[in-house]
Amino acid sequence: MSSDVTAGWAQDALDRAPRQGPDRSEEAVLARIEKVRRRRPRVREERITLAHGAGGKATATLIDAVFLEAFRNPALERLGDGAAVEVDGTRLAFTTDSYVVSPLFFPGGDIGDLAVNGTVNDLAMCGARPLWLSAGFVLEEGFAVADLERIVASMARAAAAAGVSIVTGDTKVVGRGKADGLFVTTAGVGVRERPTVLDAAAARPGDVVLVSGPIGDHGVTILIARGELDIDADLASDTAPLHELAAAVLDAGGEGVRVLRDATRGGVATILNEIAVDSDVAVVVDETTIPVRPEVAGAAELLGIDPLYVACEGRMVVVVDAERAPAVLAAMADRPDGAGAVAIGRVADDPPGLVLLRTGFGGTRIVDVLVGDPLPRIC
């Protein structure tokens, strides 16, 4: 009965891995793992799985191995929320994002304002003032025109609120069953008027990590809105434009601001990991300081998910030098969109590339990049 099959992919992984030498001490093993982690990833799967869209390791691998490999250029290589480009001395930011959220309408918003705010925020995280947006629609045969009108009206309101114009667009219709109602793609252009250079690689030991408010509202709201879980909670998505808050941070922190990121897919944990790896620093976060609404904490606990990985659509992570941190925090807290801002941690030099969490229980653990996908189609 017994057959000695070693699965092909397992053999493949074994062939690629360095042979574990005679030194099996924990330190030596950890050092080897870090070496492997920093290698260029390779897509192992023959087909796309939902994990490739989850914003975690599989997404990063796909982007790096397929898209970056094919499109490689200096602006893309930084893999920020948007590209920082320059033309005739004018510093621009340029970004694009597709929206496939299910359901299309949820407490606190819909796919329309999500698509506008998401792209506005990607520009804001580049330190830019958002100017123009495009909007592309893929519509499924049979989709209600009234719903489309409702979504488009919501986009118009969100654009007006953010001070941007939707200046170009596209419409395609596919047959029934070929798209789930509608998908929206927006792109945006903004101008970077402030001199601060923002980069996930710019964090330095001693810097302070801030978040602009309670985390995880959007992801948990969507999950509950799907109605599959028989859970009710008084929650709404946090979808909101962040460009004014970002401008306030830059005005208060100036050159001391190192990184701005909006914590969307993959949540705050994913952002912090990107900063730790790109800047070759450790990020140390205190669990008790992380703001999470009780409803979000409760739902996450029931579902076995960690709010640190749950998407926000109107929250940002700021890394700023310690000296400017109080001024930046005060500037954020003075605004309604930053009223919940707090410091959650600090940048350290060791161990580089890792995010450490001091738990409320009094222990220390790492916070890794998410592997699976607990929450597909969240944005």
Partner 1 sequence: MKYVDEFRDGDTARAIGTRIAALAEPGRRYAFMEVCGGHTHTIYKHGLEDHLPESIRLVHGPGCPVCVLPMGRVDDAIAIARDPDVIMTAFGDMMRVPGSDGSFFDAKAEGADIRMVYSPLDALKIARANPERRVVFMAIGFETTTPSTAMTILRAAREGLENFSVFCNHVVVIPPMTAILDSPDLRLDGFIGPGHVSTIIGCEPYRFIAAERGKPLVVAGFEPLDILQSIHQLMVQLAEGRCEVENQYGRVVPWDGNRRALEVVDEVMELRDTFEWRGLGWIPESALQLREAYAAFDAERLFTIPGRRVADPKACQCGDVLQGALEPWECGVFGTACTPETPIGTCMVSSEGACAAYYNYGRFSRSRTRGATSLPDPVVVGR
Q: Collapse the DSSP code of 342 into the 3-class scheme (helix H, G, I; strand E, B; otherwise coil) and give the result.
A: strand
Provide, rounded to whole angstroms, the least separation between the CB of residue 362 and partner 1.
4
Residue owning tokens 């990049």: 369
Q: Is 204 an interacting residue with respect to partner 1 (CB under 8 A)?
A: no
How does DSSP classify residue 288?
G
Which residues make Cβ contacts (< 8 Å) with residue 53, sequence separation at least 6? Answer: 59, 373, 376
Q: How far is Cα 124 from Cα 264, in angstroms, rounded to an integer? A: 14
Residue 37 tokens, joined: 């982690």
Per CB under 8 A, which region of 11-19, 64-72, 145-153, 219-227 contacts partner 1? 11-19
> Residue 59 carries which side chain, given as an amino acid letter?
T
Site string for partner 1, 59-98 (x = CB under 8 A): --x-------------------------------------
Nearer to partner 1, 32 or 78 (CB): 32
Size of the site for partner 1 (CB under 8 A): 76
Q: How many CB atoms lie within 10 A of CB 157?
A: 13
Q: Which H or E element spans position 166?
A: strand 165-174
| The total number of residues written for the chain in this structure | 379
Looking at residues 111 to 140 of the shown chain, list those that interact with partner 1 (rule: CB under 8 A): none
| Contact positions with partner 1 (CB under 8 A) in 340-359 | 343-346, 348, 350-351, 354, 356, 358-359
Q: Round to whole Å and give the CA distance between 217 and 221.
A: 6
Q: Provide, rounded to whole angstroms, the least separation between the CB of residue 363 and partner 1.
A: 2
Query: Does residue number 40 form part of the binding site for partner 1 (CB under 8 A)?
Result: no
Binding to partner 1 in span 240-269, by CB under 8 A? none
Binding mask 157-196 for partner 1 (x = CB under 8 A): ----------------------------------------
User: CA-to-CA distance for 358 and 62, rounded, in angstroms?
Assistant: 31
Give the one residue of 156, 289, 291, 335 binding partner 1; rule: CB under 8 A: 289
